């Protein structure tokens, strides 16, 4: 009888782990789709034109709390902007976002809603200094990626006073 109850507990634990992993994957996939949709709808072509020789470079975004990856490939054409929910093979830059799971979307949306200029990049230092965001590899590639996903210059953010 003890063997049967132990097997039931193992099945229950496995089911809970699978459910938790599915929820994490869904959150990461949602963030990737959100980034792609926002760039498609509201992105600026100027940032993509400034990619230059970094076209084709890979940026790997790692969400530490969700234990998942999103890979972005830089391109000079906004229409070709794409991302994949997988670990990058040989990325040029690795960006780690190490905040609590409930704050990940807040930090990511803060980056996306910023204007694509040097002052907005300076404002993001509040995440770099305490180590909430870490960059390994090419800082230039990571900054060019950040400028590509920043949509704060769009007219939807203009103040209509």
Taking only the tens place, the pLDDT of each residue in 149-161 is 888 776 766 665 4
Residue 160: inside a domain: no
CA 47 to chain centre: 17
The predicted structure's pLDDT at residue 117: 84
What is the distance between the alpha carbons of residues 21 and 109, in angstroms, rounded to a whole number? 23
What is the distance between the alpha carbons of residues 127 and 108, in angstroms, rounded to a whole number? 11
The CATH number given to whatever domain includes residue 122 is: 3.30.1050.10
Residue 93: inside a domain: yes
The predicted structure's pLDDT at residue 96: 94
Q: Give residue 60's domain range.
A: 2-153
Answering whether pTM is above 0.75, one says yes
Residue 89: inside a domain: yes
Structural domains in the chain (count): 1
Residue 58: inside a domain: yes
Burial class, 158, CB count within 10 angstroms (exposed 0-12 / middle 13-18 / buried 19+):
exposed
The predicted structure's pLDDT at residue 112: 86
Q: Residue 148 has which token pair? A: 């590509």
The ranges of the chain with pLDDT < 70 are 1-13, 154, 156-161
Burial class, 11, CB count within 10 angstroms (exposed 0-12 / middle 13-18 / buried 19+):
exposed
Residue 94: inside a domain: yes
The predicted structure's pLDDT at residue 63: 92
């Amino acid at each position: 009888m003890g063997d049967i109850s132990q097997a039931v507990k193992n099945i229950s634990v496995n089911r809970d782990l699978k459910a938790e992993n599915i929820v994490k994957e869904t959150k990461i996939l949602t963030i990737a789709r959100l980034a792609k949709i926002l760039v498609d709808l509201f992105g600026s072509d100027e940032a993509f034109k400034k990619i230059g020789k970094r076209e084709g470079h890979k940026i790997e975004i790692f969400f530490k709390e969700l234990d998942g990856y999103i890979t972005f490939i830089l391109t000079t054409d906004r229409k070709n902007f794409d991302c994949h929910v997988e670990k990058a093979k040989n990325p040029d830059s690795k960006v780690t976002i190490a905040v609590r799971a409930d704050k990940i979307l807040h930090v990511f949306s803060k980056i996306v809603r910023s204007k694509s200029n040097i002052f907005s990049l300076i404002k993001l230092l509040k995440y770099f200094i305490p180590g909430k965001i870490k960059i390994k590899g090419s800082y230039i590639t990571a900054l060019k990626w950040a400028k590509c996903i920043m949509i704060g210059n769009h007219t939807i953010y203009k103040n209509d006073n």
